[in-house]
Chains A and B, each alone.
Chain A
Amino acid sequence: MIDQMQNTVLKVDLISKGFLNIKAVNNISFAIEQGDIYAFLGPNGAGKTTTLRMLLDIIKPDSGNIEWNLNGKQNRVPDAAHIGYLPEERGLYLDIPILNSLVYLATIRGMEKADAKKTALMWLERLGLADRAKEKLQVLSKGNQQKIQFIASILHKPKFAILDEPFSGLDPINQEIFIDFIKEINNQGTTILLSAHQMSLVEKLANKIFLINNGSEVYNGSLSGIYQMFGEKIIIELQLESPFNETTFRNLNDVESVNGIDDLRVKITFRQKADLKNVLHDLTKIEGICDITSHKPDLHEIFLQLIKNQ
């Protein structure tokens, strides 16, 4: 029960969902506490969006429980006034003035019209779009349309925002802008659940992550925890003078995998607790290496490894 953990705003217990013959989500459980930035990570088709839709009661799980606690009461379905949602499939009314669309979407979530208008103008001002409030969405650039979408999802000051692939379709500059927005609304008290597959961006934001693949849990816990558990491996990238023979590297001690980046570059992953000194010593025996770099695995690499081991 949620009241056992006072700060838990969402508790998901063993939910599953199938469509005809496909099991989209398979017995997953997780809990989100107030103030978290919780990242739901997985490849396309892993079951992320289906899970988010179940949380919002757009679809119902076949089994399992979902409990929300956003207004001091436990509910199966969240109160729309407390929830912000940026769907993966973006869309707004193209032929209607931006301000009108924003105000409409905020009022159906329970915000008063005057307040919605004032807040929308404030956000448009902050994003440098105040002078375009009366223009139609279709005249804005794609990046600006994404900003409007984002405003629409958080305009009513929700306690909990679900952002499904918030970075998709954004250029690197706008990705950074969105990271700052998400951090800002989180600092203002909004708990965030985001789904994404750009691990490098999630690493900058999330404090907890849930890795999902084929509808099943791969990892559930803190971001620091996953590095502690799986991030102690050594990854070496080599630049070579001539095309390499994979067997040469596979025969090294403690090698876990060898992946060619291109004809002249190779990435070698060594097993956990392999000694860097010994690794480098072994490498000096190989001729034709012109550059060596080493690093700890990032989230992307950990995720790929976990999927591979599944």
Chain B
Amino acid sequence: MNEQTNEQPFIYKLTIYVIGFLLFCEWLLPLETITNTDDVSIFFIYAAFCFFVSFLQVQWWISMPLKFIGLAFILDGLYIAERIFSRDWFSVVYDQIIFNIQVIQTQEWWQMTPLFRSLLFLILLWLMSYLLFYWFVVAKRMLIFVVLTLVYVTVIDTFTFYDGKWAIVRTFILAMAALGMSSFAKEMDKESIPSHWFKRVHLWVLPLLGVIVFSTAAAYASPKLSPQWPDPVPYLKSATGGPGPGGSGAAIQKVGYGENDSRLGGSFVQDNTPVFRAMADGDRYWRIESKDTYTGKGWVDSLDQPTNIYDAENLEYKTFTDNVEVEEQTAMIQMNNGATFQKLVYPYGLGSLLRTPSESNFRLHENTGEIDTLRGDSPAKLNNYVVNYEFPSFEYGQLREATGEDPAEIQENYLQLPDSLPSRVQNLASQIVADEDNRYDKAKAVEQYFSSNGFEYSTTDVDVPSENEDYVDQFLFESQLGYCDNYSTSMVVLLRSQGIPARWVKGFTAGERIDSEATEFSEDLQNTYQVTSANAHSWVEVYFPEIGWVPFEPTQGFSNNTDFYSDIDTDSEDPTAGQTGDTPDQNMGNPQEIEEAESNTDTAGGTSSNGSFMWLYILLGLVVITGIILYFTRFRWMSSLLKRRFRKGGSADRYEQAYQFLLKVLAHKGVKRNPEQTLRDYARSVDSHYQTNEMRQLTNHYERMLYRNDHQNMQWNKVTELWENLIKKALS
């Protein structure tokens, strides 16, 4: 509009451009985390250099060599031993480039040398400095880049290990400042305020700062929704067949089945990645293995041997004797594609396997119950199998009367305790069981001890015991806060201290019941369970002479998936076998009823969302983003739509629509028509705004149609041309 528009004060340009650079830095920052680049600082330095040179706006024949020399120095420092710009130096660079170009031609991308990759990246930085200078300073369009930066940071934060929490905050503040300044400058342009007003700093810097500080503080202080879907990183990793989650070491771990339990403790992140689906007659523990030696920090296995190899038909593993009443049942297990562990997941009373691939063999660790799945001799994942098992039901009376002597082998292996165990643990155990006279009631007392007495279930803020602290002692007396490992380990230790043989068992809980259907394996309906990483669990088995190992469930909020019954009177006797009674025992074998309420057999937190929800959210997000983009670009796409319709041939309706659309576009661009303004009058102001007379011509035609009711003699070509020109002018 006037000559001053392009003459923005130096300080404005500098600030805008520095903000652009800082935003660009947000793009570089995650590189160190998400790629295996050791040191990105050199890239920052080069980017800053390029931005600086671009800002000087010197002639290209100065800036190009400058940037090139910078690039050469970086490559020299990083990769080339020769003296810079010496003959050998150039020949090295030349060889490298020739080699890489050949590599690219043969599409063997992985062969590209680091030097060449760095070169390409530095050139990218170089180009970005131009691009951002153009976007921010010349075109004054920073919104696109700001939005892209925000999207980039959120995507990187969501899908990689990079923590973009502060990056978002920084981006937000920078974006606010940049957009605020640019819209201020645009307003000044529009109102033709001379640019020296810019120097009245207090007039605009203070309000802008105020707005930024206020909105940042408000955003920081306001409550935020917790993440709406599970962290996609483990999900993606498992979906792409990466190593399974679990294990220990990091301070925050992903919940799931892991093999190393020598150091327990620490917080967990919930992970609802599906592991397998099971079809069974009721809730079952999915056992994997037991461990026998408590180290004071965790569990190790001293009874790994002996192992025997069986084929599917002869694989049998029972943890109880024939004195226990059983019911023959069949379950079907379908491992998720993402799950990777090569172990058999089985219910109590494993009898035999069906429908396994030929050459499937199973290496059973006789003591722990760990069963490796083999194809021939080498470990392999078993995807689908049907398992026949004898589902045990333990009779209370029988358990209470099991007073025989434990076999020596059992006593030797399952009463182990570390020497470092503080004596107060044993004292506590004595107190808990003081009133009980039989093993079952003692075990029950210990199991129930955790449901009160101030214990709390949590997967977060769980401590790892320090060097001279005992894991159980810490949980029992200090934190009283933990998850299944804490509860089950503590119960085992407490029982052992009272001379009751017990062991620590790992596997999965029953999972979330998602369906029930008729199957060939059962007369009744069978339930389908979705078992996710979050269902990984540990519980306790207690030895009873002549009965065998009986599962107990000390963890708060979980119910024992084992069946107990009473011979005398089913109604009155001890209904608390399933602890805290969330799932009454009677329900266990009753698949017809799908629980409406959220099942507590999940790990606490009860998150029922899983991967499929994530896609829903992503879809929703895409729809919203598309909607926003369509909204903001509505004038552009609508005009091309109208243009195409217009070209097909004119009609009064189309013309009216197109003209009204033009009015909207113009109004949007700041040349608004008041309702009481005549079209002619408006056309004059539009024309003077765009320095043309096309709006007047177009309006004359429109008036003729509107007020003369004459659309026979329209010169559609002329009208279309005028309209297109005006739309182009308005949108440019």
Q: Is the A/B pair a real complex?
A: no
